[in-house]
């Protein structure tokens, strides 16, 4: 079965929920999140994680880039959306379709890059790094 590698920048809480799923699923969207946005390339995911997530308390001032494989046939029903420059390509998955999306993930969700911010203390950063090591086990 052919797959496509997608990426998703997440914060600490979402990463905890992914870990609780056994690294097999993304958590349901919150009420104010009607769309799930996986992105098409690592460069764009890193940009979001570094420029947005590390500056937002909601994400714990941490940007975590995840990568995962999704069945290509399933993804054909979604158009790639370009939301800026050449690398700013993403898919728009309605929140109510996230369970179906998760069931089409082939393998597990991996952590590929982590960004910390100067907004957290050195002690907090060490605690976060320790937690991330637990996720990678």
Q: Is the pLDDT at 122 greater than 60, yes or no? A: no
Nearest CA among 1, 12, 27, 9 for reference residue 132 = 12
In sequence order, what are the residues at sequence separation of 6 or more whose Cβ sits closer than 8 angstroms to the Cβ of residue 29? 35, 36, 95, 98
- The closest of 83, 77, 63, 65 to 125, measured between CA atoms, is 63
The pLDDT of residue 123 is: 47
pTM of the model: 0.86
Q: Give the per-residue pLDDT at 52.
A: 80
What's the structural domain count of the chain? 1
Q: What is the pLDDT of residue 73?
A: 96
Average pLDDT, integer, range 48-68: 86
Kindly state the percentage of the chain with pLDDT values over 90.
68
- Return the pLDDT at 47: 94
- In this predicted model, what pLDDT tens digit does every residue of 15-35 receive, in sequence order? 999 999 999 999 999 999 999
What's the confidence (pLDDT) of residue 56? 72
CB 16 within 8 A of CB 66: no
Q: Residue 7 is part of which domain span?
A: 3-136
Distance (Å) of CA 123 to CA 5, 20, 33, 74, 93? 34, 24, 31, 43, 37
- Predicted confidence (pLDDT) per residue in 67-109, tens digit: 999 999 999 999 999 999 999 999 999 999 999 999 999 999 9
pLDDT at 125: 52
pLDDT above 70 covers a percentage of the chain that reads: 85
């Amino acid at each position: 079965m052919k797959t496509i590698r997608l990426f998703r920048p997440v914060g600490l809480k979402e990463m905890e929920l992914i870990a609780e799923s056994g690294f097999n699923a993304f958590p349901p969207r919150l009420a104010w999140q009607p769309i799930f946005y996986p992105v098409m390339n690592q460069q764009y995911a890193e940009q979001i994680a570094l420029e947005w997530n590390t500056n937002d308390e909601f994400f714990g001032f941490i940007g975590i880039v995840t990568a995962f494989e999704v069945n290509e046939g399933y993804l054909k029903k979604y158009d790639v959306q370009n939301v800026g420059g050449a690398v700013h390509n993403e898919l728009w998955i309605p929140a109510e379709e996230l369970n179906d999306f998760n069931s089409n993930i082939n393998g597990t969700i991996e952590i590929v890059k982590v960004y910390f911010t100067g907004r957290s203390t050195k002690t907090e950063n060490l605690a976060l790094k320790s937690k991330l090591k637990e996720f990678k086990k």
